[in-house]
C-alpha cells in the first residue's frame, strides 16, 4: 500500500486546518488521503488526492474518494461561497479501520462570535477542546477565541482522533469526525493479556471430575454480588464478554486493576465529563470503567 510521505501529510494538516477564505464568490474543496485516491464530485472525476479546487459552485455535493488500495468512501458535504471545505481521510482495509474528518465552514449572523459543532461516528463520543472536556457529540460549543484549538474525540473501543483547527469570528465550523476501531490483538503464547478495549471472554478451566482421557471445560466462576444499593452501576454486555477496571479514567495510561463481567453490579462513586465511572470493588478497591458499557442507577 503506497502512502503519502508523512512530512507532506503533517505539513498539510498544519497549514490546512485553519480554513482559509478564497473569495471571488466561489466555493472550494481541499482533500487529502493517506493513500492516493481518485476524487469524484456528483459523478464527475475531478482529479486525485492531494486535491484542491476553488472554483466550485456553492451547493451540496456527493463526494467519493476511490483509493488505489483500501476501502472506498463517499459522503455529502455543503460548500459555501468564499469558503473552503476540508476533508482528511486515513484509509484502512475496511470502514471500521478507516478514520478522518470533514470541516464545513459557514457564516453566522453574530460577527463577534465563533462556534464549533462536532458530530461523530460513532455517536455519542466524548469531546475535549484544548484539553478541557466539553461533553458528548453531537454538540455545539461557542469558542472564546478565534485562535488555534485542538479537538480530541474519543470513545471506548475506538482510537482517539486529534484535530487542530481555527474558527474565525462570525463563522460556525461543523466538524464531522469518524473514529477507527481499536484493533484486537491475539495474546502471545504464555500470556493472558488481551489488547481488546477495556473488555474478555471467560477463560475455560479443566475440572478433575472429567472422564478419563477427556477435559471438561467450565466457565470460571464469577464473584457473588450483594443486593445493590443506589447509586450503583450494572455492567452491560460487551463485545468480548468482560470489562477492564482501571486505576485512572483513561484507556491508554490507566493501569488495569481487574476485569468484571456483564450483569454484575458495583457501587457508583463518581463520573467524569468524558464518560468514565468510578466504582467500588468488593475488596474495597476503587477503579474506573468506561460508561459506554455500564448503566447507572441513582
| Model confidence pLDDT, tens digit, residues 42-94 | 999 999 999 999 999 999 999 999 998 888 999 998 898 888 899 999 998 88
Q: Which residues contact 2 (CB under 8 A, 6 or more apart)?
A: 35, 36, 68, 69
Q: CATH 2.30.30.40 spans which residues of the chain?
A: 205-209+218-297
Residue 194 class from Cβ within 10 Å (0-12 exposed, 13-18 middle, 19+ buried)?
Answer: middle
**Residue pointed to by grid coordinates 482495509:** 93
Task: Give per-residue pLDDT as tens, 23-38.
Answer: 567 899 999 999 999 9
Grid cell for residue 42: 456528483
Grid cell for residue 260: 468484571
Q: Report domain 205-209+218-297's class.
A: mainly beta
Q: What's the pLDDT band for 189 if we cut at 50, 70, 90?
A: low
CA nearest neighbour of 41 among 51, 185, 219, 183: 51
CA nearest neighbour of 118 among 100, 136, 98, 95: 136
pTM (predicted TM-score): 0.58
Task: Give per-residue pLDDT as tens, 205-230.
Answer: 444 444 444 545 445 444 444 567 88
**How many angstroms separate the CA atoms of 85 and 171, rounded?**
13
Amino acid at each position: 500500500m503506497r502512502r503519502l510521505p508523512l512530512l507532506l501529510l503533517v505539513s498539510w494538516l498544519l497549514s490546512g486546518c485553519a480554513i482559509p477564505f478564497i473569495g471571488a464568490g466561489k466555493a472550494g474543496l481541499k482533500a487529502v488521503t493517506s493513500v492516493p485516491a481518485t476524487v469524484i464530485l456528483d459523478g464527475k472525476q475531478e482529479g486525485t488526492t492531494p486535491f484542491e479546487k476553488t472554483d466550485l459552485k456553492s451547493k451540496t455535493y456527493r463526494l467519493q474518494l476511490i483509493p488505489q488500495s483500501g476501502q472506498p468512501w463517499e459522503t455529502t458535504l455543503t460548500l459555501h461561497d468564499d469558503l473552503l471545505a476540508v476533508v482528511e481521510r486515513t484509509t484502512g482495509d475496511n470502514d471500521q479501520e478507516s478514520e478522518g474528518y470533514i470541516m464545513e465552514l459557514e457564516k453566522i449572523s453574530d460577527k463577534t462570535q465563533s462556534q464549533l459543532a462536532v458530530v461523530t461516528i460513532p455517536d455519542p463520543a466524548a469531546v475535549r477542546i484544548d484539553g478541557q472536556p466539553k461533553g458528548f457529540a453531537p454538540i455545539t460549543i461557542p469558542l472564546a477565541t478565534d485562535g488555534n484549538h485542538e479537538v480530541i474525540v474519543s470513545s471506548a473501543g475506538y482510537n482517539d482522533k486529534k484535530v487542530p483547527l481555527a474558527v474565525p469570528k462570525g463563522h460556525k465550523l461543523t466538524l464531522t469526525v469518524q473514529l477507527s476501531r481499536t484493533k484486537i490483538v491475539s495474546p502471545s503464547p504464555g500470556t493472558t493479556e488481551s489488547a481488546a478495549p477495556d473488555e474478555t471472554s471467560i477463560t475455560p478451566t479443566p475440572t478433575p471430575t472429567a472422564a478419563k482421557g477427556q477435559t471438561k471445560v467450565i466457565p470460571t466462576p464469577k464473584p457473588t454480588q450483594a443486593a445493590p444499593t443506589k447509586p450503583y452501576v450494572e455492567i452491560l454486555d460487551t463485545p468480548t464478554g468482560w470489562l477492564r477496571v482501571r486505576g485512572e479514567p483513561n484507556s491508554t495510561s490507566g493501569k488495569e486493576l481487574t476485569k468484571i463481567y456483564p450483569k454484575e453490579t458495583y457501587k457508583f462513586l463518581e463520573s467524569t465529563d468524558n464518560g468514565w465511572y468510578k466504582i467500588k470493588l468488593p475488596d474495597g478497591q476503587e477503579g474506573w470503567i468506561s460508561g459506554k458499557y455500564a448503566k447507572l442507577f441513582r
